[in-house]
Amino acid sequence: MSAARGRTGPGANPGPAEGWEASPDYAGGADAFAERLQAFSSLEKLGGFALGCTRCRLRAGCKGVVFGEGHPRARLLLVGEGPGATEDALGRPFVGRAGELLDRILEAAGFRRQDVYISNVVLCRPPNNRIPDDAEIAACRPYLQRRMDIMRPGIVVALGATALRALVDARARVTQARGQWHRVEERWVLPTFHPAAVLRDATKKKPVWEDFQMVRDLYRRLYGALPAEAAGVGPAEG
Ligand code: URA
């Protein structure tokens, strides 16, 4: 993530309400759009539709939509903020420096990347990696909801403040909400610090590690074993 992040500033695009017109398939209010997404019954179909999305202005400033990747029936879903430059270039979530750290965190907690699903609150890279604004988050939110309805993950990790606000409470603060389970619909949501925040501030490493231990413990409680353990690969105890 760049150091120059914020809701405004050079390179910031106005929100979708400000002079942006989506093509007809992607236009409309959140409820109508959520209704349209009901037509897609698999992640593959939903992703195929999302790739053409022009619902907000972000699409005009990035290379492409980064839909997400992982096991389509993963019981653990990780949600970040939005693609960065590397993710935009490669079309995959969390493959830059923050992604490398996320892989190490997952591995230390006993999860393999192939067993979980990873995506973001917004599917298009915000210019200069700025924080997506409320309108952009709202425009993309139906995809996240439909993804969760299709996958039905029992556990969702909200990586950072944007994911916390999109998944739990728009006014919540990550410093206060992290490390506690939040019951949202039929899911358990655990907010934690974003890996990019850990890269900027090493004191966040321990709390994130503790949060992922909570994820590991709940996963075992709910499902009996971690995917690697169930596959006979053996736990990666920390
Ligand atoms: N940061 C995010 O929030 N998501 C990514 O995919 C990469 C970096």
Which pair of structure tokens corresponds to residue 118?
A: 């990873």
pLDDT in tens, 36-88: 999 999 999 999 999 999 999 999 999 999 999 999 999 999 999 999 999 99
Higher pLDDT among residues 9 and 161, named by residue: 161
pTM: 0.91
Q: What is the mean pLDDT of residues 146-170?
A: 98
| The pLDDT of residue 161 | 98
State which of 87, 124, 125 you would mutate to test the pocket of ligand 1, scoring each by most atoms of that ligand within 8 A of its C-beta. Answer: 87
The model's confidence at residue 6, banded by pLDDT at 50, 70 and 90, is: very low
Q: What are phi and psi of 159, to 5 degrees?
A: -90, 95
State the CB neighbour count (10 A cutoff) for residue 206: 10
The model's confidence at residue 14, banded by pLDDT at 50, 70 and 90, is: very low
Q: In Å, how far from its chain's centre is CA 94? A: 9
| The pLDDT of residue 233 | 85
What is the rounded CA–CA span in Å between residue 54 and residue 25? 9
Which pair of structure tokens corresponds to residue 88?
A: 């935009």
Task: Give the position, in ligand 1's atom list, of the atom nearest the Cα of 121.
Answer: 3
- The answer to whether the CB of 129 is under 6 A from ligand 1 is no
Q: Are 77 and 180 in contact (CB under 8 A)?
A: no
Higher pLDDT among residues 2 and 142, named by residue: 142
Q: Are 82 and 160 in contact (CB under 8 A)?
A: no
Overall residue count recorded for the chain in this entry:
238
pLDDT in tens, 87-123: 999 999 999 999 999 999 999 999 999 999 999 999 9
Beta bridge partners of 238: none
Task: Give the position, in ligand 1's atom list, of the atom nearest the Cα of 160.
Answer: 3
- Amino acid identity, position 107: E
Q: What is the mean pLDDT of residues 214-228?
A: 98
Higher pLDDT among residues 73 and 234, named by residue: 73
Q: What is the mean pLDDT of residues 141-156?
A: 98
Residue 18 in this model has a pLDDT that exceeds 90: no
Q: Identify the structural domains of the chain with CATH numbers, from first to last.
A: 24-222 (3.40.470.10)
- The answer to whether the CB of 80 is under 6 A from ligand 1 is yes
What is the rounded CA–CA span in Å between residue 179 and residue 190? 7
Beta bridge partners of 116: none
| The pLDDT of residue 223 | 98
- The answer to whether the CB of 68 is under 6 A from ligand 1 is no
- The answer to whether the CB of 93 is under 6 A from ligand 1 is yes
| The pLDDT of residue 3 | 35
User: DSSP secondary structure string, 79-148?
Assistant: EES---HHHHHHT-SS-SHHHHHHHHHHHHTT--GGGSEEEESSSSPPGGGPPPPHHHHHHHHHHHHHHH
